[in-house]
Amino acid sequence: MKPVVKLENVSKQFSFSRKKSDQLLEMLSVKKKQKNFTALSNISFEVFRGETIGIIGTNGSGKSTLSNLLAQIVPPTSGSITIDGEPTLVAISAGLNNHLTGLENIELKCLMHGLNKKEIKSITPDIMEFADIGDFISQPIKNYSSGMKARLGFAISVHIDPDILVIDEALSVGDSTFHQKCVDKFHEFKQEGKTIFFISHSLSQVKSISDRILWMNHGHMEMFDEKEKVATEYSQFIKWFNALSSQEKKVYRKSKIQNQLNEQLPETTTLRRSRKVSKRNTRLSFPLLFVSLITLLSSILLLFGDNFDSFTAGATEASNKETTVDSAADWQEVGQPGFTIQSPASLYSDEELTDVETEIPFASEMLVQSVMDGVYKVEHDGQILYTEKAAIQLDSGSSSQVADISLGDLARTFPERFVNSYEYFFAFMGADYETVTSNLNGYTDQGINELDQKFLEFSDDHVTIIFDEKDDAGTFVVSELNTSHPVINQLIEEARMYSVDKTLYNIQTEQYSININMRASTLMVTKIGED
Amino acid sequence: MTPVFNIFKEQLSHFPLIFRLAIYDIKGNYQMHYLGILWQFINPLIQVLVYWFVFGVGLRQGGAVGDAPFIVYLLLGLVPWFFIAPTITQGSNSIYSKVNLVSKMKFPVSVLPSITILGNMFSFFLMLGILAVILFLYGINGGIYLLQLPYYLICLFLFLFAFTLLSSTISAIIRDYQLMIQSAMRMLFFLTPIFWTLESFPEQIQSIVKLNPFVYIINGIRDAFLGQGWFFDDWKYMLYFWSLTLLILLVGSILHDNFKDKFVDYL
């Protein structure tokens, strides 16, 4: 007769790693296993169709490990297990979802065992009948008592028609009625020729159900024989053990556990395993290497492919540029706005910079068209003129910088006399010459300055009003500025441009363009934005 | 390559099971809530509104992206992301959280990540449907380019499958990995062009950003819906994406194959 379940020299070890990292290294087989606990050692037995096997033992004897191996949940460390059929483990509330109702759990668990919807429908009433939990069936599992949970789990497991049933302590929670029901079900299974493993530490339960009993003691199979024989031996052992004093019990346990820790598995099996693994590794490494290589190459292509394209494109572009530049008689295109950074800056009408056409103040804007040998060709007021390169700063984006400074802040740097009257003076900003002269009395000087602009000087108040070409009061020059005031430093930091010698600064606010001359201690405020 | 085929065989033969279990997963998740399954939509909706307000109205001042209004651009990135991010984090945790359930039965562990993907997919498809309605209301039509949508969806599912297979295996063994994945996903949300455009960066930076495979998927789905280009236009990127997916799948399958029997031991 062919055995249904056959175990050959089955051992199971658990690693006793102290650190999590040791476990990892061990897993990657970098480090040799250090300390192991042998939960099962060299178990061999055969079980035939229709048998009910009781597995008995004290706590920590390896019963549950054996049941897990039989249900094929965990693999053995060494040895082989041959099982003919589908094993099912019945453990308390295994595989039940606490949030789902009993009915839904029945369906879920049956699904997981591979039953289809029709089959589930047909067995559901049987399960409900067997579990006997009444109206609770439509309640979430979390409301169940532990007995209900166990009954439901058990009921589902026995109804999904397993070939081999592994029952781990599942009956301990049921009452005697339920227990009787289970025993009846086991008899039914037995008649159908199914194999049952019944795991318990209660000798009476095991004896009432099993045909043969397997006695486990600290990882070793102590006995496997007819139930009466084993039952007598086991009860004698228990009697002997209970008679020991607690000190002796401790010593006995300790020595057994020490044995389990020190036990080494036969070398041959581990050797064979490692060779198998290395062989498999070489077989797998080729596609792995190949795909890694492609990934690497494609990521390089993605990262640098565009650069390569733009590099070649850039090279052709550059060579094109060179030819056009050659034909344009050494004038190189600039086409950017620029600002004067000298005061005043001279604009010449010829390339050699000999004839001065006009002089313009610091921070005047113009369009720089092209450059050759330190000379800029610029467009100013519709005229094409030339100037030294050093007098112009190209707009590098800083010209749009807007400082956040109000007139009130500025006033703190004004001379004491003007602080009191600046608001009155600035009220005339933008007014025409007539209005200013008729309203503001006491100017000490008037005339035309070096830039052909009319001006009115109020030397008592340290202010000069300069009129633009439309005779409007466009610019106010304040002299005797307190240049050591922190506001000045702030202004300088926010300056959008400054002269080469760092004495002239231009600051742009939302309303004004402000020029500071540090050497002459003057501040020039020009209204912008209205025209 | 055999582990890869084996894994795929397991998925196919257990497909009805995966499908049912995914439904149970969704049911189980929302059983406790009064609004139940509605939360699948309330949650993303709130997030969309917040992102739209902060990034669209606040930072972009309501400026459109190309032809599309910002809200459409944002939704086209957020809808896939709301599928990707939870799938990756839950999928990576799937083996760890469910192996006790599964190990009591004869049941391939490799279907656990697939259950997560499928479970999240239902709401993703629904959101795609809502998105299509919104696009229709805005009068945006991808036209012939919509034909490539299935291609990008396949890219998305395959990548998620490969990635969750690998990371669920790693995360079952090394628990630190799960925390790493969580923070990585939070980071990737900002590193993926969801509320910003790839074009707003210089070329070199664009290429680096593109190393993130989600960029391929999200921009691809955008291209399909907005009718902006074909998937074969950028063949270099396509090659990179597929080789990366294959590599992850291969490594994941081999690793999973090696550890599938031992998960119970390491938990």
Burial of A24 (0-12, 13-18, 19+ CB in 10 A): middle
Confidence of residue A283 (pLDDT cuts 50, 70, 90): low
List pLDDT tens digits, range A158-197.
888 778 888 877 666 667 787 788 888 888 888 888 888 8
**Number of C-beta neighbours around residue B189 at 10 A:** 17
Please compute the mean of the pLDDT values over residues B63-67 and round it to a whole number.
73
Q: For residues B222 and B203, what is the distance between their CA atoms, to the nearest angstrom?
A: 20
**Residues of chain A positioned with their CB less than 8 A from the CB of B24:** 97, 100, 104, 107-108, 111
CA atoms within 13 A on the CB side of B5: 2
The verdict on A14 and A79 lying in the same domain is yes
Report the residue of chain B nearest A115, measured CA to CA: B17
The whole-angstrom separation of Cα A207 and Cα A229 is 11
Measured distance between the N- and C-terminal CA atoms of chain B, rounded to whole angstroms: 28
Whether A275 and A382 share a structural domain? no
pLDDT in tens, A353-406: 878 878 777 777 788 888 877 788 888 777 888 888 777 877 766 666 777 777
Point out the residue among A71, A298, A307 whose CB comes nearest to the CB of B240. Answer: A298
Instruction: Match 């690693």 to its residue by tokens.
Output: A15
Interchain proximity A284–B254, CB inside 8 Å: yes
Cα(A207)–Cα(B139) distance, rounded to whole angstroms?
78
Measured CA to CA, the distance from residue A246 to residue A225 in angstroms comes to 30
pLDDT at A113: 75
**Whole-number pLDDT of residue A264:** 67
**Backbone φ/ψ region at A78: left (φ over 0), alpha (ψ -120 to 50), beta:** beta
β-bridge mates for residue A476, sequence order: A465, A525
Q: Angle, nearest 10°, between helix axes A146-159 and A176-191?
A: 10
Question: Among B24, B105, B251, whose Cβ lies nearest the Cβ of A104?
Answer: B24
Mean pLDDT of chain A: 77
Q: Is A223 exposed, middle or buried (0-12, 13-18, 19+ CB in 10 A)?
A: middle
* CB A155 within 8 Å of CB A92: no
C-beta pairs of B136-145 under 8 Å, 24+ apart in sequence: B138/B68, B138/B69, B138/B72, B140/B67, B140/B68, B140/B72, B140/B225, B140/B226, B141/B227, B142/B224, B142/B225, B142/B226, B142/B227, B143/B227, B144/B227, B145/B223, B145/B224, B145/B225, B145/B226, B145/B227, B145/B228, B145/B229, B145/B230
Listed by number, the residues of chain A in 105-164 with a beta carbon closer than 8 Å to a beta carbon of chain B are 107-108, 111-114, 116, 140
Number of residue pairs across A and B with CB atoms under 8 Å? 112
Res A246: pLDDT: 85
> Does the pLDDT of residue B87 top 90, yes or no?
yes
- Give the pLDDT mean for B141-147: 85
How much is the pLDDT for B212? Answer: 92
| pLDDT computed for residue A456 by the predictor | 84
Lowest mean pLDDT among A313-322, B9-18, B120-129, B255-264: A313-322
Which of A265, A291, A310 lies at the terminal end of a domain, its last residue? A265
The per-residue b/e assignment along B200-229, b for 16 or more CB within 10 angstroms, e otherwise, is eeeeeebbeebeebbbbbbbbbbbbbbebe
The yes-or-no verdict on residue A90 having pLDDT over 80 is no
Report the pLDDT averaged over residues A30-44: 73
Please judge whether B265 and A74 are an interchain contact, meaning their C-beta atoms are less than 8 angstroms apart. yes
* pLDDT band of B37, cuts 50, 70, 90: confident
Structure tokens at A103: 């009915």
Residue A273 has pLDDT above 60, yes or no: no
pLDDT value of residue B215: 93
Averaged pLDDT for residues A141-163? 81
A65: its two tokens: 């490990």
- Indicate the angle between helix axes B203-210 and B213-226, nearest 10 degrees: 100
What are the DSSP calls for B178-221, one per residue? HHHHHHHHHHHHHHSSSSS-GGGS-HHHHHHHHTSHHHHHHHHH
* CA separation, residue A443 to residues A37, A438, A457 (Å): 106, 11, 6
pLDDT of residue A398: 61
pLDDT digits (tens, 9 = 90+) for A48-82: 888 888 888 888 788 888 888 888 777 788 888 88
Instruction: Give B138's contacts (C-beta < 8 A, 6+ positions apart).
Output: B68, B69, B72
3-state SS class at A366: strand
Q: Which residues of B touch A298 (CB under 8 A)?
A: 236, 239-240, 243-244
To the nearest 10 degrees (0 to 180), the angle between helices A117-131 and A146-159 is: 140
Residues A407 and A515 in one domain: yes
Angle at A338 between CA A336 and CA A340, to 5 degrees: 165
Q: Which of A307-316, A465-474, B231-240 has the highest mean predicted lDDT (pLDDT)? A: B231-240
User: With bands split at pLDDT 50, 70 and 90, how would you rate the model's confidence at B158?
Assistant: very high
Pairwise CB contact (< 8 Å): B264 & A291:
no
Chain A nearest C-alpha distance from B85 (Å): 23
Q: If you average pLDDT over every residue of chain B, what do you get?
A: 86
Kindly indicate the confidence band of residue B156, based on its pLDDT and cuts at 50, 70 and 90.
Answer: very high
**Are residues A226 and A201 both part of a single domain?**
yes
Residues whose CB is less than 8 angstroms from the CB of residue A110 and which lie 6 or more positions away in sequence, other chains included: A119, A120, A123, A156, A160
pLDDT bucket at A274, cuts 50 / 70 / 90:
very low
Cβ atoms of B217 and B159 within 8 Å: the answer is yes
Predicted local distance difference test score (pLDDT) of residue B62: 65
CA distances in angstroms from A32 to A35, A38, B125, B260, listed in the order given: 9, 16, 49, 21
A299 at B interface, C-beta within 8 A: yes
Distance CA A147, CA A93 (A): 10
Which range is least confidently modeled, A219-228, A267-276, A304-313, A459-468? A267-276
Helix (H) or strand (E) holding B86: helix B70-103
Residue A260 CB neighbour total at 10 angstroms: 21
CA distances B118 to A236, B10, B19, B85, B114, Å, are 57, 15, 7, 14, 6
A28: pLDDT confidence band, cut at 50, 70 and 90?
Answer: low
Are the beta carbons of A498 and A343 closer than 8 angstroms? no
Report how far residue B89's alpha carbon sits from residue B98's, in angstroms, rounded to the nearest whole number: 14
In a mutagenesis test of the B interface, which of A89, A112, A139, A274 is the best target, namely the one with the most B β-carbons within 10 Å? A112
For residues A316-331, average pLDDT: 50
Residue A164 lies in a domain: no
My answer on whether A319 and A339 are in the same domain is: no
Which tens digits make up the pLDDT trace of A197-241?
888 878 888 888 888 888 888 888 888 888 888 888 888 888 888
Helix (H) or strand (E) holding A222: strand A220-226
Residue A291 has its nearest CB partner, among B16, B247, B262, at: B247
Q: By the 8 A CB rule, do B18 and B111 touch?
A: yes
Please list every residue in chain B whose beta carbon sits closer than 8 Å to the beta carbon of residue A302.
207, 210-211, 236-237, 240
A73 contact residues in B (CB cutoff 8 A): 103-104, 264
| Within a domain: A91 | no
pLDDT higher than threshold 50 for residue A267: no
Q: Which two tokens stand for residue A18?
A: 């102290």
User: Closest chain B residue to A298 measured between Cα atoms?
Assistant: B240
Whether residue A506 contacts residue A497, with contact meaning beta carbons closer than 8 Å, is answered with yes
Nearest residue of A to residue B234 by CA position? A302
pLDDT given for residue B244 in this prediction? 94
Domain that holds residue A343: 332-396
Indicate whether A492 and A508 sit together in one domain.
yes
Q: What is the pLDDT of residue B144?
A: 86
Segment A103-126 mean pLDDT: 83
Specify whether A431 is located in the same domain as A503.
yes
CATH of the domain at A339: 2.30.30.40
Q: Give residue A499's region: left, alpha or beta (phi > 0; psi -120 to 50).
A: beta
On whether both A315 and A336 belong to a single domain, the answer is: no
For residues B7 and B165, the answer to whether their CB atoms sit within 8 Å is: yes
Helix axes B70-103, B111-137, angle to 10 degrees: 160
Flag whether A517 is in a domain: yes
What is the distance of C-alpha A4 from the center of its chain? 51
ipTM, two decimals: 0.74
The whole-number pLDDT of residue B243 equals: 93
| pLDDT reading at B25 higher than 90 | no
User: Given pLDDT bands bounded at 50, 70 and 90, which one contains residue A31?
Assistant: low
Q: What are residue A118's DSSP bridge partners?
A: none
Number of domains observed in the structure of chain A: 4
Which of A396, A418, A434 terminates a domain? The answer is A396
pLDDT band at B195 (very low <50, low <70, confident <90, very high): confident
Same domain, A61 and A208: yes
Among the partner-chain residues B107, B173, B203, the one whose CB lies closest to the CB of A27 is B173
Check whether A255 has a pLDDT greater than 70: yes
Helix (H) or strand (E) holding A146: helix A146-159
Q: Are residues A260 and A340 in the same domain?
A: no
A87 CB neighbours in chain B (<8 A) are 106
Same domain flag for A473 and A492: yes
Q: Are residues A201 and A304 in the same domain?
A: no
- Shortest CA gap A509–chain B (Å): 24
| CB atoms B105 and A88 under 8 Å | yes
Considering the entire predicted model, what is its pTM?
A: 0.63
Residue A124 lies in a domain: no
Q: For residue A384, list its beta bridge partners.
A: A379
- pLDDT beyond 70 at A314: no
- Residue ranges of chain B whose CB lies within 8 Å of a chain A CB: 1, 3, 16-17, 20-21, 24, 27-29, 31-32, 101-107, 173-174, 203-204, 207-208, 210-211, 236-237, 239-240, 243-244, 246-247, 250-251, 254, 261-262, 264-266
CA distance B81 to A406: 47
Amino acid at A251: V
> Integer distance in angstroms from the first to the last C-alpha of chain A?
111
Beta strands in A299-344 (DSSP E): 332-340
A68 vs B contacts (CB less than 8 Å): 264
Cα gap B159→B152, rounded to integer Å: 10
